Amino acid sequence: MSKEPFMIQDIPGKGRGMIATRSISSGEMVLAEAPLFIQTGLPTNATVLASVSALNKAQQREFFSLANCHRGKLPPALGIFQTNALPCGFNDRISMAVATEGAIFLKGSMFNSSCLPNVNNYWVESEGKITFRAIRDISSGEELYISYCSCLADRETRQVELKNRFGFECNCTACSLSGEERKASDTRRSSVAKLHSEIGACGAQPSLGLRKVKLALRYLNEEGLLESHGDSYYYDGFQFYTSSSDINSAKAWAKKAWELACRNKGPDSEEARRFDVFVQNPRAHPSFGLLTRQKLSGPEL
């Protein structure tokens, strides 16, 4: 069995891409890689060139052989950086937090994009590495995809972002839907993003908050995005239960958040470790018992 379960090959219409060379289980690490170099803040051609000039000749050649979708519009070094850089740090798709550092990874730069990704990229600060984990079972021969844009936007918004920032028209499974199916997918994805802020405003209304969490989870599941985006919603659900002193349910929801974080970010990730504290002891959360003790129930929205 080869150490890395993928090979890089030409994919019609997409340049190079990553193909699974064996079946990969959900949660399995596909690749962990240290950056070639990191840029902090807003990169310019001068800052990228300064980093590149510190590399050895072979590395410089590899950098300049990466894809550049900004050819003719940006200077080459900056164009290559903008086409290939991945976030190092907290880059939350739901709250739209953007990492302040981005880096070039020679192998990691070979992942193409899908709005229904089967791999999640996650920066592990403590190791100074990016990890790529399978977020569903992948068959041998399937292409491996991360997502370059927010999956919780409608198709039109995703298409514009991908065209402007990465120069391609996305024909992934989600973007290829048409008619009623496309409309339903757009509604579900936009609703999940909207529910995120509504849930945040439900601190004093745990039953309502929980119904919104369940709706978001249902939509994520229907969109095939539960594995990649579900952990923070399960954590929201946990908080509604613990604030209402429903310890058994709180524990069960913290466990779901933990399981998903282990799968898409790894058991040693900051998120998985934080959720694990509450699996062990739901009372450890600062919101424990803040509201009237109650059993949360009621119809799903």
Ligand X SMILES: C[S@@+](CC[C@H](N)C(=O)[O-])C[C@H]1O[C@@H](n2cnc3c(N)ncnc32)[C@H](O)[C@@H]1O
Size of the residue set binding ligand X (CB under 6 A): 20
Q: What residues between 52 and 71 interact with ligand X by CB under 6 A? A: 66-67, 69
Output b/e per residue, 193-220; b: 16+ Cβ within 10 A.
bebbeebeebeeebebbbbbbbbbbebb
Shortest Cβ distance from residue 113 to ligand X (Å)?
Answer: 4
Shortest Cβ distance from residue 157 to ligand X (Å)?
Answer: 16
Shortest Cβ distance from residue 277 to ligand X (Å)?
Answer: 36
- Binding status of residue 16 toward ligand X by CB under 6 A: yes
The span from the CA of 48 to the CA of 82, in Å, is 10
- Token digits for 224? 């095939």
- Token digits for 96? 């739209």
Where do the DSSP E strands lie in the chain?
6-11, 15-20, 29-33, 37-40, 86-88, 101-104, 112-113, 119-124, 129-134, 143-146
Shortest Cβ distance from residue 134 to ligand X (Å)?
Answer: 18
The span from the CA of 199 to the CA of 216, in Å, is 10
- Binding status of residue 74 toward ligand X by CB under 6 A: no
- Binding status of residue 226 toward ligand X by CB under 6 A: no
Question: Which DSSP state fits 109?
Answer: G
Q: What residues between 107 and 126 interact with ligand X by CB under 6 A? A: 109-110, 112-114
| Residue 36 contacts residue 58 (beta carbons within 8 Å) | no
- Binding status of residue 14 toward ligand X by CB under 6 A: yes
The span from the CA of 196 to the CA of 231, in Å, is 12
For ligand X, what does the binding mask look like between residues 158 and 197, x meaning CB under 6 A? --------xxx-x-x-------------------------
Give the nearer residue to ligand X in terms of CB position, either 62 or 92: 62
Pairing of strands 37-40, 101-104: antiparallel
Output b/e per residue, 63-81; b: 16+ Cβ within 10 A.
beebbbbbeeebeebbbbb
Give the nearer residue to ligand X in terms of CB position, either 85 or 215: 85
Shortest Cβ distance from residue 266 to ligand X (Å)?
Answer: 22
Shortest Cβ distance from residue 241 to ligand X (Å)?
Answer: 39
Q: What residues between 91 and 110 interact with ligand X by CB under 6 A? A: 109-110
- Contact positions vs ligand X (CB under 6 A): 13-17, 66-67, 69, 83-84, 109-110, 112-114, 166-168, 170, 172
